[in-house]
Amino acid sequence: MISNTEKNRFCFAKKLLNIYPMSYLYTVFGIPIRSEIVLPAFQPLVDNGTENDTIVVKIGKTDGLFSQSITTTRAMCRFNADEFLYEMPKVGKYFVKNGNEIIIQPLTDNMDSVLVFFYSNALAAALFQRNKLLIHASGIIDKNGKVWLFVAPSRVGKSTTALMLHQLGYPLFSDDIVMFHNTANKNMVTPSYPMIRIWQNTLEAQTVFDQESIYQIRPAVEKYGVLFHDTFDPSPREIAGLVFLKIGEEKIEITDLNGKEGFGYLNDNFYRKQWLSGMGKNNLKFKDLTYLAKNTSFWLASRPREMTSFKDFAEAIDKQIISKNG
């Protein structure tokens, strides 16, 4: 049974339909998006061309939508191979079906907060349903047009490292997640969307973006979204190398890794990897991991835990890895 509070929140959500008619076209990971609501982080799409590959985003109720048995339950989500429900208390519920439909039920009138979990979780589930896997990485583009990926769990410094390298002159490629695929025997990645997420201390240290490009992602959370639509290129690019980031002890250290070591680090950094087995994607994951490990160069870069600025870290990565191998 739906509580009165949830009913009131749902009434708010339905009112959004009057504000945001179903007329917004975007693209993300090269996939067309047709949305009832504004998705500020996504790249506008002028002409969809075909409806066959589109992901449709709607506002609606998410209760009672499963048509198949739930096979897996994880923290805040329940799912089977084709249907996925994610619930963030007091923020929103997100139902994803067959890789082509996402229904959002807002539980707050703060749509920025609602969209945080759409971008990070609902979209990932839709891609997994399409047999597309994501790496937990941020990236920049080198002088040869190839991509260097910085791979690490949350809060280690992927976004900040990429932003500091951007200040050294490297264009931003993508933040937090990229989609891997193999094309013509090349390791390729497609960027997500033109927004990078940074914490307050990084915001104060960066000098590239002005306040018009920055907004606070969630109330009472000192994390900010930085939009870079004007310079974003959605084209897939070849991987130049992967740099795994780590918090160390005393000094900056950078070392080469072999394929076996790279395989292990990659295995730990597939995006939302805890969902993959429940969705039947382990074979696909192993195939992608194996190919990447055999055909990619890897490095491990660690920085001191007490290091408050990433400037020296970014310069060391540039000097010892990118400029040397790019």
| Geometric angle at alpha carbon 113, from 228 and 34, rounded to 5° | 65
Per-residue pLDDT of the chain (326 residues; tens, 9 = 90+): 444 444 444 444 444 444 445 579 999 999 999 999 999 999 998 765 555 689 999 999 999 999 999 999 999 999 999 999 999 999 999 999 999 999 999 999 999 999 999 999 999 999 999 999 999 999 999 999 999 999 998 888 899 999 999 999 999 999 999 999 887 778 899 999 999 998 888 888 888 888 778 888 888 788 889 999 999 999 999 999 999 999 988 899 999 999 999 999 999 999 999 999 999 999 999 988 888 888 899 999 999 987 667 889 999 999 999 999 87
Q: What pLDDT, on the 0 to 100 scale, is given for residue 51?
A: 58
Domain borders along the chain are 4-129, 134-325
Q: Going by CATH, does the domain composed of 134-325 fall within 3.40.50?
A: yes
pLDDT at 1: 40
Return the HEC string of the chain. Answer: CCCHHHHHHHHHHHHHHHHCCCCEEEEECCEEEEECCCCCCCEECCCCCCCCCCEEEEECCCCCCCCCCCCEEECCEEECCCEEEEEECCCEEEEEECCCEEEEEECCCCHHHHHHHHHHHHHHHHHHHCCCCEEEEEEEECCCCCEEEEECCCCCCHHHHHHHHHHCCCCEEECCEEEEEEECCEEEEEECCCEEEEEHHHHHHCCCCCHHHEEEEECCEEEEEEECHHHCCCCCEEEEEEEEEEEECCCCEEEEECHHHHHHHHHHCECCHHHHCCCCCHHHHHHHHHHHHHHCCEEEEEEECCCCCCHHHHHHHHHHHHHHHC
d(CA 32, CA 71): 29
pTM of the model as a whole = 0.88
Structure confidence at residue 154 (pLDDT): 85
